[in-house]
Amino acid sequence: SEAATRQLLGKDVEAIGMESFESCFKSLEISAVDFAMLPIENSMGGSIHDCFDLQIRHDFFIVAELKFRVRHCLMALPDETFETVKTVISHYQALAQCDQYLRGKGYEPKKEFDTSGSAKKIHDEKLKGYAAIASELAAEYHGLKILDKGIEDDPNNVTRFFLLSRQCLKIQYPLKPSKTLTDDMKTSIVFSLLDKPGCLFGALAAFSLRDLNLTKLESRPDKYRRTGHFFLPVANRKGSLGSESLNPTLVNDFYADMPEPPTGSPLLGARKSEFRSLFYIDIVGSVSDAPIVNALRHLAEMAPFLRVLGCYPMSGKLKNHVAKAVGTPDGTIISDELSRFTLDTPAIPKLSEKLLSVAPMESKRLKIAVIGFGNFGQFLAKTFVKHADVVACNRTDYSAQAKAIGVTYYNDPESLLSKEDDIDVVVISVAILAFEKIVSLLPKERLRDILVVDVLSVKVFAKTVLMAELPEDAGILCTHPMFGPESGKYSWSGLPMVYDRVRINDNETCEQERMPMSERCSLFLDIFSSENCAMVDMTCEQHDKQAADSQFITHFTGRVISRLNLASTAIATKGFKSLLTLRDQTVKDSFDLFSALYICNPNAEATLSKMRTAIKDLVVDLKSNKSKLHFNHTESSDEKKDDMERLSEFINKVSPSKTGETFGLATKLKQEGKDIVMTLCVGEPDFPPPKPILEAAKAAIDSGKTRYTPVQGILELREAIAKDLKTRKDVEADPNNILITAGGKQAIFCAILAMCDKGDQVVVPAPYWVSYPEIVRLSGAEPVIISRDPRKDFILSPIELSAVLTPNTRMIILCNPCNPTGCLYQRSDLEAIAALLSRPEYAHIYVLADEIYERLTYDGSEHISFASLPGMQHRTLIVNGFAKAYAMTGFRLGYLVAPTKILKAALKLQSQLNSCACSISQYAGVKALSLQQSELDPLYAELEKKRNLTVGRLNKIPNVYCASAKGAFYAFPDVSAYFGSNVKNPHDGSPIASTTALCQYLISYHGVALVAGDAFGEPKGIRLSFATSMEDINKAIDRLEAGLEALEIS
Q: Are 587 and 559 in contact (CB under 8 A)?
A: yes
**Helical (H) or strand (E) element with 924:** helix 919-930
Q: How many C-beta neighbours within 10 Å does residue 148 have?
A: 16
The dihedral sign for the CA sequence 176, 179, 184, 185: positive
Query: Of these residues, 52, 68, 161, 305, which one is catalytic?
Result: 161
The strand order across the sheet containing 408-410 reads 408-410, 388-393, 366-371, 425-428, 451-454, 475-481, 496-503, 534-537
Around Cβ 257, how many Cβ atoms within 10 Å? 6
- Could you confirm whether 396 is annotated as catalytic? no
The rounded distance, in Å, linking the Cα atoms of 139 and 136 is 5
Separation of alpha carbons 457 and 600, rounded Å: 10
Ramachandran bin of 478, using left for φ above 0, alpha for ψ from -120 to 50, beta for the remaining angles:
beta
Angle at 712 between CA 711 and CA 718, to 5 degrees: 145
971 to 607, 947, 1024: CA distances (angstroms): 28, 8, 5
| Beta carbons of 296 and 306 less than 8 angstroms apart | yes
User: Which segments of 209-319 does DSSP mark as H helices, in order?
Assistant: 290-300
Q: Give the Cα separation of 822 and 513 in Å (integer).
A: 47
857 is catalytic: no
User: Is 466:485 a contact under the CB 8 Å cutoff?
Assistant: no
Query: What's the count of helices (H) and strands (E) in the chain, helices before strands?
Result: 36, 34
Q: What Cα–Cα distance (Å) separates residue 1039 from each residue in 665, 677, 679, 990?
A: 18, 9, 14, 20
In angstroms, the CA 594 to CA 607 distance is 14
Euclidean distance between CA atoms 15 and 825, whole angstroms: 52
Which string of b and e fits 985-1021 if b means at least 16 CB within 10 Å?
A: beeeeeebbbbbbbbbbbbbbbbbbbbbbbbbbbbbb
Q: What is each CA distance from 144 to 5, 81, 89, 136, in whole angstroms?
A: 21, 12, 14, 9
Q: Are 874 and 899 in contact (CB under 8 A)?
A: yes
Catalytic residue among 87, 159, 479, 659: 159
SS3 call for 423: coil
Instruction: Write the DSSP assignment of 810-850 as a string of letters.
Output: EEEEEESS-TTT-----HHHHHHHHHHHTSGGGTT-EEEEE
Closest-CA residue to 771 (of 815, 810, 811, 808): 815
Quick one: which H or E segment has residue 305?
Answer: strand 305-313
- If DSSP codes are grouped into helix, strand and coil, which group holds residue 444? helix
Distance CA 888, CA 970 (A): 18
Nearest Cα to 597, choosing from 562, 549, 561? Answer: 549
Q: Could you tell me if 425 and 525 are in contact, meaning their C-beta atoms sit under 8 angstroms apart?
A: no
Output the furthest CA–CA distance in the chain (Å, rounded). 120
> Measured between alpha carbons, how far is 700 from 928 in angstroms, rounded to an integer?
14
Distance in angstroms (rounded) separating the CA atoms of residues 794 and 824: 9
The catalytic site residues sit at 159, 161
